[in-house]
Structure 1
């Protein structure tokens, strides 16, 4: 696997294990960076952008109604993907 794929899988696995709570990209990055210091904020942002544009989307986002912050959650398809591939 290459780094982009590693970051995407880590992001999706993180969101899938916290499916009831939407997360900001910075929250996701802080958690993943502890486990893999080579992951940058840009890597996580690129992974989230990719995962929201898959067909069907594996991750969805919504804007904070009072600001511009995006909150991300795994979709049903994203959860099925990680259950089938990672056994969560």
Structure 2
């Protein structure tokens, strides 16, 4: 369990320092829950050059884009991704192996 005074609990039960909540960057692994329902979420933070900006304005490390895990609260990091030659792109933009 997280320390409710100093930590924020992500949806996956991992703990973050409270200062990482609503800082404009996705810090919770796998779910981006630290950037959901934030006050002043309309204020866009400055993303680093190595970041990808989710459609809702959240900054995300570019390595987390198209990694087959939704990291942006709006799933925009997994949309418009290119599939490899061994994969088929489904209507929902997900890539699956061609041999399935």
TM-score (norm: length of structure 2):
0.22
Larger Rg: 2
Which structure: greater helix fraction? 1
Which structure: greater strand fraction? 2
TM-score (norm: length of structure 1):
0.23
Which has the bigger relative contact order, CA under 8 A and spacing at least 6? 1
